[in-house]
Chain A
Amino acid sequence: MIIENSEIILSVRDLTADVDGNQILKGVNLEVKAGEIHAIMGLNGSGKSTLSKVLAGHPAYEVTGGEVVFQGQNLFELEPEERSRAGVFLAFQYPLEIPGVSNLDFLRVAYNSHRKSKGLEELDAFDFQDLVEQKLEVVKMNSSFLGRSVNEGFSGGEKKRNEILQMALLEPKLAILDETDSGLDIDALKIVANGVNELANAENAMLVITHYQRLLNYIVPDYVHVMADGRIIHTGTKELALELEERGYDWVLQESAAEVTA
């Protein structure tokens, strides 16, 4: 929802970034306010996932210019774990498997690291179990998931639901969903989308990165941005997603090129 004069959660200005010496982000500008859901769409290689990794602080991505302010704070001064504790959450496109660590233990250390940074007492195993049982309902998971190793042997849909479960626990200010819908069947997609909708409120913001318009039938964005060649080249409302689905990306690319030459 767009709220007049709400707090600016994320402000990205002229952001450039490299991977292995190749420039991928070539000047991204974006402003996200509390309560808003932004969708970023674009072709493969347009820089969508790179933007999400840069925001979360992946060490393989080198920021070469520009700035990112998160709730008034320079994001690049923070380590990845500090960004997480400050309220940035990245739902991974490919969540990692961690054999040997139970999902419950993983969720608890993550949750307690956030509690600790806020000066709150850590939850013991019993209290945490109660908390996590409630959150399981958000993603329609049953508690047998908690006893299994993190993501090990999970189906694609289960892995993505596990990401949303983590988001439900950590209650981020800014949730970045990196192609959370890719590879999901329609039932799993609905569960994930409903979970996200349940968590979205007037205090937080969502950045939904996707390849497919389909997700946006279930998570309705306030803004749709088109990314190409490391920049956001076009911004519109949710109708833009439908238009992209129908007409493809060529027309946006051409219009954008025309603007540059004009």
Chain B
Amino acid sequence: MNTKVASSDTYLPELVNQCRKLGKAKREACAHGLKDVRDAAVEYVLASKFPTTRDEEWRFTDISEILDIPFQVPDVNRESSLKLSDLTLPVRDKNALPLRIVFVNGYYVPSLSSVEASLLPTLGMEFFAGNLTQAPGNYSDRFREYLTQSQEYHDVFAGLNMAGLVDAAVIYVPKNQAIETPIHILYVAMPGETPILSLPHCLVIAEPGSSITFVEDYTVIGKGATFTNAVTQVWVGENASVNHTRLQRESGEAYHVGLSAIAQARDSRYTCNAISLGAKISRHNLEVLQTGEQTETNLNGLTMIANEQLADTHSAIKLTKPHGTTNQIHKCIVADKAHGVFNGKVFVPKPAQLTNAAQLSRNLLLSPKARVDTKPQLEITADNVKCSHGATVSQLEDDEVFYLQSRGLNQDDSRNLLINAFAAEILNRLPIASLRETLYSAVNLMKR
């Protein structure tokens, strides 16, 4: 066990070394062609540097304190001591999210998951939800095809995730199938004696004409430092429709870096609802590539942070073909000394004519020491497009609070109502009613 504090030069090689040793699981996964993916990722990480605030992409997000913590990548462990009752599910009504894929410290736990075919009576045989290493062999080619394409995501943390890729949560939706029941993917980090680095990976493939709603949910059970470094790949086929909710509610001792990489074929629709509540420091990279015409992307983001939390969202939408639509709204509610960061890139190159792109960043500061850095970044070279962007930073106005007080609400309730209202615009877009209600309760805890 390595207990010595690493320097930025040795930190990544040490973690890569741990990834290489992930034993049993490594052999299991070879069947899906993961060895090549891992080897390439190892090379990439070893050639990269740990990011600092001198890197433009990390200017406002100082993650150097991670270097002081000797994180360990746990080896495969299918026997989790967790019971279903230990999990706080984000919805009270279990029927609202009956299908569940649970990963603990980066590994699939069948006893906590619920993906039985009996829960999917209306589905054809070809639909698959579960984990990669246990997927039937006939899916292998399709999965390998997508996983090997993923090497193009060049970011050191995505690389590190790939270097340790031994399993993944997988959802495969066959052509023209509409899956009505949402799927819940729960990633639990459980710190043990040593600080835990978990590397959860998720692959969602929606074949042409299909539709699916899924919820990714990152949480921590227990005390201690955790570092979740996640990658989710979503492939949206021609004319397919994917609704993706990403809920990050990790503990105050958690570090979280996550990449959501989405590729959309022509005529497809993709919606992301990204809700960041937890972690001491978190970073969400959201990258959407529109590869075909008339593609629609909706990104809804809500960050609610307090104390000394830092939450950073970097999004990049790349359009490549005509008639694309993107709608993005990102909201931050920042209390105490917390710090929110938003950077939203939209690329509209010459071939992407007749694009309709809108971006809005709205921020609510609840204390004088709260801070937000927001940066819309539009690069437009097409000349026949409609693109708009805007950013606002505000605080609760005395006049607004007074209006509510003058109707009989006390000051706390008045402030809460206004904060709720600010969050509601995003929460109302969540596709599952009971999830909306749970998150409204979370907003109420922001009370100052």
- Taking the complex as formed, is B400 at the interface, i.e. its CB lies under 8 A from any CB of chain A? yes
Most buried by A among B400, B407, B408, B428: B408
Instruction: Flag if B405 contacts A96 (CB, 8 Å).
Output: no
What is the count of residue pairs linking A and B with beta-carbon distances less than 8 angstroms?
A: 78
Instruction: Flag if A117 contacts B408 (CB, 8 Å).
Output: yes
Could you say which of A25-33, A108-116, A192-200 contacts chain B?
A108-116
Q: Interface range on chain B: under 10, 10 to 19, 20 to 34, or 35 or more?
A: 20 to 34
Instruction: Return the contact of B402 from the options A59, A106, A117 (Cβ within 8 A).
Output: A59
**Smallest CB-CB separation from B410: which chain A residue?**
A81
Given contacts A101-B421, A109-B417, contact A79 B405 (CB under 8 A): yes
- With a CB–CB cut-off of 8 A, which chain A residues contact B424? 100-101
- With a CB–CB cut-off of 8 A, which chain A residues contact B414? 81
Interface string of A52-85 (1 = CB under 8 A from B): 0000111110000000000000000001110111
Instruction: Return the contact of A113 from the options B403, B408, B425, B428 (Cβ within 8 A).
Output: B408
Most buried by A among B400, B403, B407, B409: B407
- Taking the complex as formed, is B413 at the interface, i.e. its CB lies under 8 A from any CB of chain A? yes
Most buried by A among B398, B406, B413: B406
Q: How far is the CA of A109 from the CA of B417 in the complex (A)?
A: 10
Q: How far is the CA of A89 from the CA of B418 in the complex (A)?
A: 21
- With a CB–CB cut-off of 8 A, which chain B residues contact A96? 399-400, 403
Tell me how far the C-beta of B402 lies from the nearest C-beta in chain A, rounded to whole angstroms: 5
Instruction: Flag if B400 contacts A113 (CB, 8 Å).
Output: no
Q: Which of A86-120 contact B (CB under 8 A)?
A: 89-90, 92, 95-96, 98-101, 106, 109-111, 113-114, 117
Tell me how far the C-beta of B390 lies from the nearest C-beta in chain A, rounded to whole angstroms: 15
Instruction: Return the contact of A58 from the options B402, B404, B411, B421 (Cβ within 8 A).
Output: B402
Instruction: Flag if B406 contacts A84 (CB, 8 Å).
Output: yes
Tell me how far the C-beta of A69 lies from the nearest C-beta in chain B, rounded to whole angstroms: 19
Tell me how far the C-beta of B401 lies from the nearest C-beta in chain A, rounded to whole angstroms: 8
- With a CB–CB cut-off of 8 A, which chain B residues contact A117? 408
**Smallest CB-CB separation from B428: which chain A residue?**
A100
Instruction: Flag if B425 contacts A170 (CB, 8 Å).
Output: no
Given contacts A57-B406, A109-B409, contact A98 B398 (CB under 8 A): no
Instruction: Return the contact of B405 from the options A80, A89, A111 (Cβ within 8 A).
Output: A80
- With a CB–CB cut-off of 8 A, which chain B residues contact A58? 398, 402
Q: Interface range on chain A: under 10, 10 to 19, 20 to 34, or 35 or more?
A: 20 to 34
Tell me how far the C-beta of A42 lies from the nearest C-beta in chain B, rounded to whole angstroms: 22
Instruction: Flag if B425 contacts A56 (CB, 8 Å).
Output: no
- Taking the complex as formed, is B420 at the interface, i.e. its CB lies under 8 A from any CB of chain A? yes
Q: Which of B393-446 contact A (CB under 8 A)?
A: 398-400, 402-411, 413-414, 417-418, 420-425, 428
- Taking the complex as formed, is A166 at the interface, i.e. its CB lies under 8 A from any CB of chain B? yes
Given contacts A59-B402, A95-B403, contact A100 B408 (CB under 8 A): no
- With a CB–CB cut-off of 8 A, which chain B residues contact A113? 407-410, 413
**Smallest CB-CB separation from B401: which chain A residue?**
A59
Tell me how far the C-beta of A70 lies from the nearest C-beta in chain B, rounded to whole angstroms: 14
- With a CB–CB cut-off of 8 A, which chain B residues contact A80? 402, 405-406
- With a CB–CB cut-off of 8 A, which chain B residues contact A89? 406
Instruction: Flag if B406 contacts A90 (CB, 8 Å).
Output: yes
Instruction: Return the contact of B408 from the options A81, A92, A149 (Cβ within 8 A).
Output: A81
Residues of A that sit less than 8 Å from B by CB: 56-60, 79-81, 83-85, 89-90, 92, 95-96, 98-101, 106, 109-111, 113-114, 117, 149, 166, 170
Q: Offer 20 A-B interface pairs, CB within 8 angstroms, sorted by A.
A: A57-B402, A58-B402, A81-B405, A81-B407, A81-B409, A81-B414, A83-B406, A84-B407, A89-B406, A96-B403, A98-B417, A100-B420, A100-B421, A100-B422, A101-B420, A101-B421, A110-B404, A110-B408, A149-B421, A170-B408
Residues of B that sit less than 8 Å from A by CB: 398-400, 402-411, 413-414, 417-418, 420-425, 428
In order of increasing CB-CB distance, the 7 nearest A-B pairs are A100-B421, A113-B408, A100-B424, A110-B407, A80-B405, A84-B408, A96-B403
